[in-house]
Amino acid sequence: MKTFTQFTLAFASAILAVGTATAGPVNIPAKLPGIPLDESPVYNPAGNDEAYMMSVTEDQGPLGVSQQDGYKMTIRRDDDGETIWFRDLTPGFSRHNDDDEYTWIKGTVSGTDITVKAGQVIYQNDFYGQKLYLESVTVDNWGSVDKFLDEIHFTIEGDRIVQTDNTVYLAVYKDGETIDEAGFFIFMNNFVIEPVGEIDKITPPANVETEDWIMTWNGGSRSIKVARDAETYYVAGLAASAPEDYVSGTVSGNTVTFKSGYILTSNPTRYIRLIGAAPGQPDEWGFPTLEMIMSYTFDIADDGKTLTLNPADNYIVEASYNFSSFYNGFSAVKLFPYSGDKPAVPAAPEVDYDELNDLLTVTFPSADINGDYINPDRLTYRVEFDGVPYEFSPDSYFGLSEPMIEIPYSFTDYYDIYVNGPLHTIFLHDTPRWNTVEAVTTYTVDGISNSSSSASQSGIGDITVENKQIVAETYTDLTGRRITSPSPGSIVIVSTRYDDGTVVNSKRIIR
């Protein structure tokens, strides 16, 4: 389940505050007449799957507005032609835990019009007592919800489906007994839904052996798959977000060249493009930028067993389908065979604590104390406060099903614990009072476990807030590309300019 910071009902105060008293704390019913609410979700309706792709504008309230493209969508149609079903109309919200438990949204077809009734259940988890609804709303000039509508309309334009009235928003809504328990998670409009054409899938020839290799870059490493013959290299794993997809490069002398723009399909929610990029001119804030290039090239050495990106300061970038966003970028890339898992002492992680957001940012190298690669799938970590291991409890971390002390390296609950390669971010809840926070990794191979030295941060001081006003904030992704508004779960560099001319740069994970 994709999750975001829940918007408070300041967005809906015009509706939900009607008839409330102002003196003293009161429980204000949020389940008001007129808000459509179905009882149950719909799973696995009849029909044949049709692959579609969706572009949409996402309004995340305080986080701003962002245009998203390349979202995967599946459509089914009834034989009578009067009913259409959408899966992932609100990307990331409709999946429980397997394909049979995807929720579907029903639409009724009349000519070129599709009517989608509001109040349909898009997510239900009885174990956690969670239920989310699809609502159709309008907003006023201040951005507050003006009213709930009974339906939203789409128009069929040839083989495309577009939103009929873009002043209406689809919203993911959580109902509650009180205003404090209810709220919105996201608002969406400007829907464009179109069928996916033929996508060329790269597959190594059956007679070519696939080998386990390692990819290293400035700041990290991971395992990849490589198959090769005299003319072609086939590589899977250059994109962390679509690790199962192969791309092919053509050998010429002592180089191998990969074209930009391959469409990767193994990401569960999006179609991803893999491209090359070169450093561009710094932007007005002095941050580096990247410019897409048509191909990227590796030098071949060691009898074909080592590939080194050339130039080293070029990037391999995971981009959105329409190239409008860059998700991840890697420079100084080197590829070589992996010699296998062996016992080793992992390198110490780096810990940073953000007191303002009660957030830990920890970098866990997939390397040993000598700088050699180790398999991150065999790494676990724990967080210690003043030397005492901290237990992450489902009572405080609702994405967990059981308490955890030792956390697998790649674990994420998509809400409080995020993973972006070696960079892990953890929102803290219900921690004891502490002076020092530490992170310790453990590497286990053949029953032999070795732990790193601890990385810690102490001396947490008070945050001083001077009488300064923010006049501008800009967001830059980790590849240096300016972005209008960051997507939830992304890690960005935020440049905050104050009215006295000072600029503060910080890393932030967007929820």
Tell me what the mean pLDDT of segment 19-44 comes to.
56
Q: Which of 149-158, 327-336, 466-475 has the lowest mean pLDDT?
A: 466-475
Question: Which helix (DSSP H) or strand (DSSP E) does residue 43 occupy?
Answer: strand 42-43
Contacts of 89 (CB under 8 A, 6+ apart): 54, 73, 105, 116, 122, 134, 170
- Rounded distance between C-alpha atoms, residue 321 and residue 55, angstroms: 10
* pLDDT at res. 326: 87
Burial group, residue 379, by CB count within 10 angstroms (0-12, 13-18, 19+): buried
Considering only 24-28, 93-97, 247-251, 449-453, which range has the smallest mean pLDDT?
24-28
Dihedrals phi, psi of 244, to nearest 5 degrees: -85, -10
In three-state form (DSSP H/G/I as H, E/B as E, the rest C), the secondary structure along 439-501 is EEEEEEECCEEEECCCEEEECCCCCCCCCCCEEEEEEEECCCCEECCCCCCCEEEEEEEECCC
pLDDT at 149: 93
**The predicted structure's pLDDT at residue 69:** 92
Instruction: Quote the pLDDT of residue 465.
Output: 40
| pLDDT band of 143, cuts 50, 70, 90 | confident
3-class secondary structure, 10: helix
pLDDT at 338: 92
CA angle 261, 289, 275 (to 5 degrees): 10
pLDDT band at 493 (very low <50, low <70, confident <90, very high): low
Backbone φ, ψ for residue 15 (5° rounding) = -95, -50
In one-letter notation, the amino acid at residue 78 is D
Banded model confidence at residue 174, pLDDT cuts 50, 70, 90: confident
What is the rounded CA–CA span in Å between residue 481 and residue 472?
17
What is the reported pLDDT for 479?
46
Those residues with Cβ within 8 angstroms of residue 466's Cβ, 6 or more apart along the chain or in another chain? none
HSE of 168 in the Cβ direction (CA atoms, 13 Å)? 19
Cα(31)–Cα(33) distance, integer angstroms: 7
Between strands 65-77 and 210-217, the pairing is: unpaired
pLDDT tens digit string along 89-126?
998 787 654 445 789 999 999 999 999 999 999 988 77
The answer, yes or no, to whether residue 3 has pLDDT greater than 80, is no
pLDDT given at position 414: 74
Question: In this predicted model, what pLDDT tens digit does every residue of 189-211 receive, in sequence order?
Answer: 999 999 998 898 999 999 999 99
pLDDT score of 284? 78
pLDDT mean over 10-16:
30
Average pLDDT, integer, range 382-392: 93
Residue 29 has pLDDT above 50, yes or no: no
Confidence of residue 85 (pLDDT cuts 50, 70, 90): very high
* Cα 201 to Cα 258: distance, rounded to the nearest angstrom: 15
Is residue 258 scored above 60 in pLDDT?
Answer: yes
pLDDT of res. 30: 45
Q: Does the pTM of the predicted model rise above 0.85?
A: no
Residue 391: predicted pLDDT: 95
Given this model, what pLDDT does residue 12 score?
33
* pLDDT at 49 exceeding the cut of 50: yes
Higher pLDDT, 101 or 391: 391
b/e map 426-462, b = 16+ CB within 10 Å: bbbeeeeebeebbbbbbbeeeeeebbbebbbbeeeee
Reduced to 3 states (helix: H, G, I; strand: E, B; else coil), residue 18 is coil
Q: Is the pLDDT of residue 255 over 90?
A: yes
62 pLDDT exceeds 70? no
pLDDT computed for residue 24 by the predictor: 29
Amino acid identity for residue 279 in this structure: P
Residue 63: CB atoms within 10 A of its CB come to 19
If one compares 447 and 420, the residue with the highest pLDDT of the two is: 447
pLDDT score of 60 more than 70: no
Q: What percent of the chain has pLDDT over 70?
A: 78
Rounded distance between C-alpha atoms, residue 165 and residue 147, angstroms: 15
pLDDT over 90, % of the chain: 47
What pLDDT is attached to residue 373?
A: 86
Top pLDDT among 178 and 188 is at 188
CA distances from 178 to 6, 197, 331, 385 (A): 15, 47, 50, 35
Q: Which residues contact 208 (CB under 8 A, 6 or more apart)?
A: 227, 228, 229, 234
Burial class (CB in 10 A: 0-12, 13-18, 19+), 176: middle
Read off the pLDDT of each residue in 223-243 and give the average, rounded to a whole number: 94
Separation CA 299–CA 209 (nearest Å): 21
Mean pLDDT of 478-500: 58
Phi, psi of 174 (to 5 degrees): -110, 120
Residue 356 scores a pLDDT above 90: no
Per-residue pLDDT, averaged over 64-79, amounts to: 89
CB contact at 8 A, 283 and 259: no
The pLDDT tens digits for 269-306 are 899 999 999 998 887 777 778 899 999 999 999 999 99
At 82, phi and psi to the nearest 5? -100, -10
- pLDDT for 6 equals 36
Which of the two residues, 127 and 410, has the higher pLDDT score? 410
**152, β-bridge pairs:** 116
Residue among 232, 282, 281, 239 at smallest CA distance from 257: 232
Chain-wide mean pLDDT for the chain? 82
What number of residues does the chain have?
511
Instruction: For residues 499-504, give the mean pLDDT.
Output: 60
SS3 state of residue 438: strand
Question: Does the pLDDT value for residue 366 go beyond 50?
Answer: yes
